[in-house]
Homo-oligomer: A and B are copies of this chain.
Amino acid sequence: MARPGIESIRRQQLIDATLSVIETHGFQGATIGKIAAASELSVGIVSHYFGGKQGLLEATMRYLLSCLQQDASRLMASRPSNPRESLMAIVDANFSGVQTHAQSAKTWLAFWTQAMHSPELMRLQRVNERRLLSNLIFHLRQLMPPGPAQATAQTVAAMIDGFWLRAAMSEGRIEPDQAVALCKTYIDQAIQANNGASK
């Protein structure tokens, strides 16, 4: 008979193995064989649970996105409702937890590349991007006029992506602290530059 929860266990096993293999061998080198070996399962199991390689890759990206969203929710909940502090929490969330590890950074870059030619991955990517931008604008809007708020939000989003990219490229260690500090410095500069402009 079916053991309870065996399906979710196997799915997570395969997703973890996929992340590990992509980090080690890159997106191109992530073959079913290597993923199966890393998960200590067989190659056939992938088709059984995910319908094929593409399904596994999409599930893996969904997992990464959900981790990001959880980090964000957790950090937003534990902060005061001060707009500036909320912005800082958003920055922290985008560099905390899974995102700061080289494994995730490389995998994100791989998925970004892949997403450009996969409608479903692209859709997931856009949803995530929209959410980040909306959150930033919502809080910035309480500190500056609409125009600068929009511009600042897009700049912060670009900075976050840029630092992720550098994190993925730098082979050894990443400096998430430095990236976070630079983002926060920019936000304060933007607030200062636009302070009292209209309000």
Q: Verify B115–A169 contact, CB threshold 8 A.
A: yes
**B-chain residues with CB within 8 Å of residue A12 when the two chains form the complex:** none
User: Is A25 part of the binding interface, using a Cβ–Cβ cutoff of 8 Å?
Assistant: yes
Q: Verify B158–A163 contact, CB threshold 8 A.
A: yes
Question: How many A residues, CB 8 Å from partner?
Answer: 42
CB within 8 Å of B: which A177-199 residues:
178-179, 181-182, 185-186, 189-190, 192-193
User: Is A157 part of the binding interface, using a Cβ–Cβ cutoff of 8 Å?
Assistant: yes
CA distance A29 to B118 in the complex (A): 12
**B-chain residues with CB within 8 Å of residue A169 when the two chains form the complex:** 112, 115-116, 122, 125, 129
Count of this chain's copies in the oligomeric assembly: 2
User: Is A28 part of the binding interface, using a Cβ–Cβ cutoff of 8 Å?
Assistant: yes
Partner of A193, one of B115, B181, B192: B192
CA distance A5 to B112 in the complex (A): 39
CB within 8 Å of B: which A1-27 residues:
25-27
19 residue pairs of the A-B complex, CB under 8 angstroms, read A25-B117, A26-B113, A28-B28, A29-B117, A109-B116, A112-B113, A113-B113, A122-B169, A122-B171, A129-B169, A151-B182, A154-B178, A157-B166, A158-B159, A158-B162, A158-B179, A159-B159, A160-B162, A161-B162
